[in-house]
Amino acid sequence: MLLGKCEGRVTELGRKLSKRVEPDDGALVARSQAGDRRAFSELVRRHQTAVYRVCYRVLGDREDARDAAQEAFIRAYGKIDTFQGRSAFRTWMLRLAVNVSLNERSRRRPLPPELLEADSGSGPEEAAVAADEVARLHRALRSLKPNHRAAVVLRDLEGLTYEEVAEALEVPPGTAKGWVSRGRRRLRELLL
């Protein structure tokens, strides 16, 4: 019993020490602002998945999402000196991703039908049902107004707080809450 408690404390101490060794986003931003390219590369590594997911959910196309994510990071690199730390770097980066994606979305044709990959871990029938459900969700998301879609994606799929959603979309928190609420209501109508 005592050994188990000690192991737990050692494990927790190890986690705390490993967190201290790895610089936080603020330190990486400061180093990036001083010209350290490796620091910016680390920021990209940490946030590329979330940025891609936001771009994909706004645009609905994998290739366009990759392009938009790359463009968002290029813009972030060019504007890193303007980052003042009033929000988390992640929030600032996702705001850029949303803006790039919405701009791209407004300039192009309607979304093409999506090709979905079935989960190889399930049988063919379960994979087909899952693919149908995912396709329904993507169609429903695409049918939302762009601001509502972005708010729902950031809040419900990326886990941002309402305040972070508001910062990312550059609107008051009440507006962000309203967009999430209206987006969710519309999704319920479409999916039920």
With a cut of 60, say whether residue 8 has pLDDT above it.
no
Cα–Cα distances (Å) from 76 to 72, 80, 104, 109, 131, in that order, read 6, 6, 17, 26, 34
**Model confidence pLDDT, tens digit, residues 58-98:** 888 899 999 999 999 999 999 999 999 888 999 999 999 99
Supply the pTM of this predicted model.
Answer: 0.64
- Burial annotation 167-189 (CB, 10 A radius, 16+ → b, else e): bbbebeeebbbebbebbbebbee
* Domain 24-112 CATH (choose: 1.10.3720.10, 1.10.150.120, 1.10.1740.10, 1.20.5.510): 1.10.1740.10
All structural domains of the chain with their residue ranges: 24-112
Kindly indicate the confidence band of residue 4, based on its pLDDT and cuts at 50, 70 and 90: low
**Model confidence pLDDT, tens digit, residues 119-173:** 445 567 776 777 778 778 888 888 899 899 999 989 988 888 999 999 888 899 9
